[in-house]
Amino acid sequence: MTSAVSLKLNHEFRRLYSKGKSAVSPCVAVYCRRNRLGYNRLGLTVGTKVGKAVVRNRTRRRIREAYRLHEGEIRRGYDIVVVARVRCAFSRYGEIERALLKTLDKLGLLVKEG
């Protein structure tokens, strides 16, 4: 299984915010848009409202791990930006994982089995 490439350029984030589809949950907001590549690109945003650097980095690691574990269930060829909300810093890993999967499902990014 290949891991997603990181989104790093500011104009790519802005394009997703303005032209992409979005879904929100109490922990995360997810923006997505189809790209013409055969793989996904993942961007993470954790603002200073979430907490200090240690808290932001821990939140970022948890979101990245939840994405990594379920990467096989996510459709290919999308740019995805996950924005952590303040509540994400105080949530357990299981809640973050469920919130991410729920929002990805709302956007139609999860592959249905069976």
Give per-residue pLDDT as tens, 37-85. Answer: 888 999 999 999 999 999 999 999 999 999 999 988 999 989 999 999 9
Q: Which helix (H) or strand (E) holds 84?
A: strand 78-84
- Topology of domain 5-106, CATH: Ribosomal Protein S5; domain 2 (3.30.230)
> For the chain, what is the mean pLDDT?
90
| 46, 84 contact by CB (below 8 A) | yes
40: its two tokens? 């996904």
The confidence score (pLDDT) of residue 1 equals 44
Q: Coil, strand or helix: which one is 83?
A: strand
Looking up tokens 């490439």 gives: 5
pTM here is: 0.90
Radius of gyration of the chain (CA): 13
Largest Cα span, the chain: 43
